[in-house]
Structures are given as C-alpha cells and as structure tokens.
Amino acid sequence: MLGAELMILLESCPLAALIVNAAGVVTFANAEARALFGAADTLHGTGITDLLPGWPLDNPEGSSVLLSARAGEARICDIRVLPCPGSDEPLTLVWIDADGQEKSAGLAAREANLRLRYVIEMLPQAVCVFDAKDRYVLWNQKYADLYADIAEYLTPGIPFEEILKISLAGGSIQEVVPDQDVWLSERMAKFRQPVSQEERQMKDGRWLRYDDRRTPDGGAIGMRIDISSLKQREEWLRQLFDANPMPMLLCDGDSLAILEANHAALQFYGYERSVLLAKAVFDMHAEGQGEEFAARLRNLDGDCEARTVWRQQTAEGREHHVLIYVRLLYDGGDRRLLLTIADVSDRVLAEAEANRLAHHDILTGLPNRMQFYKALDEAFKTEATEGAVIVYCLDLDGFKPVNDTFGHAAGDEVLKLAGERLRSAAGGHLVARLGGDEFAILVKTEDQADSGLADRCISALNPPFRIKGLSISIGVSIGIAAASVATGDRETLVQAADRALYRAKSAGRNTWRMAEDEIMPLAVTVR
C-alpha cells in the first residue's frame, strides 16, 4: 500500500505519475495522468500496455515514447521508470513529462535563433530576414546602422511595406524618389520576385546594391551592400578608357561584336557610336584579312602582344596600317576581349620609303646599283635550262661638258630626263642608274633579244634637252653582253658588257657593240 504522504506528493506533482503492480496493472494515477489520458476519475485497473504500448521500456532510466493521449492525440513524452519507495509489494513508479519535447524543441529553436543572429552579425553586409508574409524576423546591426532613420521602427513582425511607407512619409528615404506611389509599387514588385538585384544611388552619393532572394518556405533574405568604392573604381576605369588617346574596343569573346568603344576609337574610325557598336571588330579590316583576324581572336587563350600589321579602313575609306594589342578578360562567366589599336601607318610608309630609297636612285627614281645587281642575281636563280640574261651598259656621251658649262643643276636635270627617256625606250625592262652618267638595262628572255632596244635608246637621247630655255645635246654608248640562264654568272656577264661599252666608245660613240664571242657562253642575236 502507498503511504499517505506519498499519495499527497504524487497528487501535487506537475508531472503525470502512475503506479503499476507486478502484473502490469495501474493501481494509482494522479490528476496530471488522468488529464493526460482523458480519464474522468481514475485509471485504476487499466493495463499499462494500453497506456504505453512500448511497455516494458528499453531504457527505464529515461525514454521518449509516442503515446495516445486524450481524444486520440499522439504526443511524444519523456518517461522515467523507478521502483516505488515505501511499498510492501513490488510496485513501479512511472513519471511522464508530456511537455518535455515541447520544452526541448523550444530550447532548440531559441538556440538556432541565437546562432542565426550570431551568423548574420558576423556578415560584412547589412542583412535582414523576412517571413512568408514579408514581415521582419531578424536583421543585423549593420542593417540598423544603414537605415538609422527607420531603426526605431524595426520590430519583429512589422511588414516590410509598412517600413517603406514610414520612411516615405517621414521624408527620410535615402533614395531619390520622384514619384512615391510608383517607387513603392516597383520596389515591392521586385522584392516579391524569386531573385531581385538592382543598384541604386543614394541622395548622399553612395551606391547600394539590393539583393533579395526568396527562401523555400516563402520567406526572404535581403542583403544591402555598399558598392560606392566599386562604383568609384568603375568610374575611374571608365574615365581612363574614354580618355585614353589610343583607340580601344571592348568586344564579346565569341561573337566578336563590339560592346564598347572609347572616344579615340570613334574619331579614328569616323563612325557614330551607334554605328560602330553595331559592328564586329573584324568589320574594319581590309578585304581578305577580316576572317584571319577573327579566327585568331576566337582561338586566343591569353593576352596577345601585337606583332602583325593589319590593314583597316575608316568610314571615309581611308586605309590605315595598325598593330592590335589584345587583353583577355572575364566578366563573370562571359569572355571579353579588350583591343588597343596603334596606328603605325606613318611608320609603315616611312619604312617603305626608306626601303625604296635604299634600292632606288634619289635623283632619277630609277633602281640603283644595289637593286640592279639583286635583280641580276635573281635572273640566274632559276631552274630553266634555256633562255638568256642580257645586260646593256650605257654611258652618256658628252655629259661632262654639261656640268662644266651649264652647272650641276642643269646636269642633274639632264640625268633625270635621260632616265625617263631610257625607261620609255626599254619597253618594260628594268632600267637602273649605276652612278654618275652610267645606266644599265637588264633583259631576261627565252627567245632572241630585242634587236631594236639599243637603237631605240640611242634614238631616244638624240633630241636635245630643253633646260631653262637652253638646248643641251648628248649621246650614249652601249655595251651589250648575253649569258645563258643555266650556265652564266653575274660578274662575267657585267664585265663582258663593260668591255663592249669601251669598244663602242672607241668606235666613235653614240653607237653600240656586242661582247666578243670568245668570252660569251651563248651567242645571242641582237640585230
């Protein structure tokens, strides 16, 4: 039997208590136990297995058991089984804590909430958390500091839209808001999207990035990031890009469509911005070069230093020679190419002119001695076994008196005009000035030599030259030598022509002579 003191203690206990005998029958149930199981007066005589289906318990010292409480309600309860003190027979005391799981769940929720608060306080951004009805749940101190004007109104459960209205009504909204109703409608529409990102400039000049994302339960997490320094760097880069005196283009790495062009590029190409931005970077290349340039860009896997000189055309059709430096960039997952264009037209033209001057006579514009001998060497570099190379050495007759009598300026003019007449008489063959009053003509033929070439040259120089009202007459002596393409050589050929020239001068000048046969590997009929 239970003692009276124990009965009083069990009745006043806030936990449900049962006394079970050795046969598994309930012999006592306190008020909490009767209320838990929905018994009006007593549970005496009820089998313990009817109340606790899992009886006997695996861990009598403490178990969580799912049991059917009043009205069929299923509840998880903490149960502890102890020997009943002060009884004459073996009885068991069963404690049932019906609120144990709820208390544990509440404690776990509080701990999770504290951890979440700790996490968002550690974040460098301003963060706020909303429930499925767009009400504030949590926010960190950075968020409260960022919106100090509405911080006093921030309380858990207050709707986001109400906070916006408070800010608008108080005139403390940090953004520039031309129309409050339109702004509020657009702001809430964006906020309710699954993902919303936008950048806004504040009245004080700062820039904020709003990043709102919906959670699976319908709530939302908002982040407010101060991107003022990023915007400042972007502006500096923009100014550097636009103010750069070198033409610069930013293009898509795949399509090669022009995305941006600086002021120097617009001036260089001569297009309006909208027109240039509708083009691809290879559209300005000269015919035949665009496809090659595009292929190189698409295969680019790193920065490219300019080594190839490309030809490009402007809107007016003017051609430029350019070097193009390429930098490979990535904008998120997008491949970008930054092109810097260097106009090297003047350099190319200067190099071409320097090359021309190196191989041409400055006074007459004819190929010089170096170019003549280079062409003569090339004439013998052939796989042909037939044909001949013919050299005409020409020396002006009576030229020295021109310089002595009329001066060097008149002599230079005579040399220029003589060069023009010889080039006309040569019929497309190479005519060179070797120096002084010496000229040469190179002929490469697979047939007989032009029998009239020497005579045409003599005839061309017969008419007097009119120099500043003066009539100046000169003549020309010509030595001719021919050699086989297969077996001849430059030195032998030139020496033979030179000896023939002296023979022509000895014969009375203003005539021509063919090299003697004994030094010629091939006889060529000249007339």
Number of H helices, E strands in the chain: 17, 22
Asked whether the whole model's pTM tops 0.85, one would answer no
CA angle 215, 221, 225 (to 5 degrees): 145
Q: Which two tokens mark 132?
A: 């499925």
Separation of alpha carbons 117 and 141, rounded Å = 10
> Do 382 and 495 fall into the same domain?
yes
109 within some domain:
no
> Do 87 and 119 fall into the same domain?
no
Number of domains in the chain: 4
User: Which of helix, strand or coil describes residue 11?
Assistant: helix
User: Which of helix, strand or coil describes residue 302?
Assistant: coil
Which H or E element spans position 252? Answer: strand 248-252
**Pairing mode, strands 430-435 and 512-514:** unpaired
> Do 303 and 390 fall into the same domain?
no
Which H or E element spans position 323? Answer: strand 319-331
73 within some domain:
yes
242 within some domain:
no
The pLDDT assigned to 95 comes to: 83
Q: Which residue has the tokens 């000249």?
A: 526
> Do 399 and 372 fall into the same domain?
yes
Residue partners of 410: CB distance under 8 A and separation at least 6: 402, 403, 467, 468, 470, 472
Residue partners of 60: CB distance under 8 A and separation at least 6: 80, 81, 82
At CB < 8 A and 24+ separation, what contacts does 495-503 make? 496/520, 497/391, 497/392, 497/393, 497/440, 498/393, 500/393, 501/393, 501/394, 501/395, 501/477, 503/479
The pLDDT assigned to 494 comes to: 92
Active-site entry in 78, 395, 437, 450: 437
> Do 280 and 309 fall into the same domain?
yes
402 within some domain:
yes
> Do 447 and 476 fall into the same domain?
yes
241 within some domain:
no
> Do 510 and 368 fall into the same domain?
yes
64 within some domain:
yes
352 within some domain:
no
pLDDT along the chain (527 residues), means of 10: 68 82 87 81 83 78 70 72 76 79 58 74 89 91 87 89 88 81 90 90 85 91 87 80 88 91 92 93 90 87 78 91 89 86 86 78 91 90 78 94 89 94 93 94 78 90 91 93 83 92 91 71 46
Which one of 50, 70, 98 terminates a domain? 98
> Do 343 and 364 fall into the same domain?
no
> Do 364 and 336 fall into the same domain?
no
105 within some domain:
no
> Do 508 and 392 fall into the same domain?
yes
Helices (H), 284-368: 290-298, 345-359
Q: Which among 334, 363, 365, 344 has a CA at the least distance from the CA of 253?
A: 334
Which H or E element spans position 169? Answer: helix 160-169
Do 366 and 431 contact (CB within 8 A), yes or no?
A: yes
Q: How many C-beta atoms surround the C-beta of residue 273 within 10 A?
A: 13
Separation of alpha carbons 499 and 481, rounded Å = 9
For residue 15, give the CATH number of its domain.
3.30.450.20
Q: How many C-beta atoms surround the C-beta of residue 473 within 10 A?
A: 13
Do 277 and 354 contact (CB within 8 A), yes or no?
A: no
Q: Which amino acid is at 377?
A: D
The pLDDT assigned to 524 comes to: 47
> Do 60 and 198 fall into the same domain?
no
**Residues β-bridged to residue 304:** 326
> Do 147 and 278 fall into the same domain?
no
Domain of residue 50 covers 4-98
Residue 518 CB burial class (10 angstroms; 0-12, 13-18, ≥19):
exposed
For the chain, give the number of residues.
Answer: 527
For 67, 366, 416, 497, the CA distances from 442, given in Å and listed in that order, are 119, 13, 19, 11
Residue partners of 76: CB distance under 8 A and separation at least 6: 64, 65, 66, 101
Does the active-site annotation cover 217? no
For 36, 39, 51, 126, 321, the CA distances from 72, given in Å and listed in that order, are 11, 12, 12, 48, 91
**Pairing mode, strands 512-514 and 475-484:** parallel
Do 443 and 429 contact (CB within 8 A), yes or no?
A: yes
